[in-house]
Amino acid sequence: MTTIQSILDRKGSGQAIAALTAYDYPTARLLDEAGVDILLVGDSLGMTVLGHPDTTQVRLEDILHHTRAVVRARPSALVVADLPIATYDNAKAAVVSAKELVKAGAQAVKLEGGQHCAAQIRAITQSGTPVMAHIGMLPQQIRKEGGYRKKGKTAEERSSLLTDAETVEVNGAFAVVLELIESSVAAEITRRLRIPTIGIGSGTNCDGQILVVHDLIGFFPWFRPKHAQPEADVAGEISKAVSAYIKKIRKAEEL
């Protein structure tokens, strides 16, 4: 059983933390049986499952629904659920939303932001729910940012990211996702923090890695981030199977 303590113990252990998103029962079961450490019910489901252009329309109800499905798989992996946009605007709201996710079966929650979310991270942690932080490129800010862009290229951004990382640790986060951060900056953060860093598009010098499962298995062919190297072509397999099925039933009709 993966616990918060076992994730913390992985820091510096030489065994990278393997994390993937999961949004439903069969995927959660398969990933868990394959040995993944963390299942994230990410708000990326807004795109990969619900067909929105980004994560800004995901509601707490969506994450609750998918968290319940993932938890039904009874995974050994740690289940972390995302707090969607506008559900943690202040410390009080953050605690209430986090409690809902825990009631649905999540063992920890994730939120996006460093220095701006210090109060929320502290309040959720103090209320008894472990928090995974998320800094760097923040998908919930995509409309303000105008696109996905690597962070940490300038001295100012580098210094702000280091402050973000130290802030989330000091306020109680048990791990931090580093998204689209210059690899040298991600490496520096990983060296400085006592909590594990989990990278996505931030180079290999992190304590673990996370990917959207659809990007790993080739299940969302309409958008593939640069950092994702698919290990399978599930979309292609589905097309092949469906074409074969259509051909077979139409041939049967002709007989």
Check if 179 is active-site. yes
Nearer to ligand KIV by C-beta: 20 or 71?
20
Query: What is the CA 5 to chain-centroid distance, rounded?
Result: 19
Residue with smallest beta-carbon separation from ligand KIV? 42
SS3 assignment, position 243: helix
Within 82-111, which residues bind ligand KIV (CB under 6 A)?
82
Q: Which of 36, 79, 186, 200 binds ligand KIV (CB under 6 A)?
A: 200
* Euclidean distance between the first and the last CA atom of the chain, given in angstroms as a whole number: 55
* DSSP H or E segment with residue 199: strand 197-200
Give the pair of three-digit tokens for residue 30: 């398969």
**Residue 119: HSE in the Cβ half-sphere, 13 Å Cα cutoff:** 8
User: Binding of ligand KIV at residue 121 (CB under 6 A)?
Assistant: no
What is the rounded CA–CA span in Å between residue 123 and residue 194?
Answer: 20
Tell me the closest approach of the beta carbon of residue 76 to ligand KIV, in angstroms. Answer: 20
Please select the residue that binds ligand KIV; options are 177, 178, 193, 195, rule is CB under 6 A: 177
Q: Does 173 bind ligand KIV (CB under 6 A)?
A: no
Q: Which of residues 8-27 bind ligand KIV (CB under 6 A)?
A: 21
Residues between 28 and 47 that touch ligand KIV (CB under 6 A): 40, 42-44
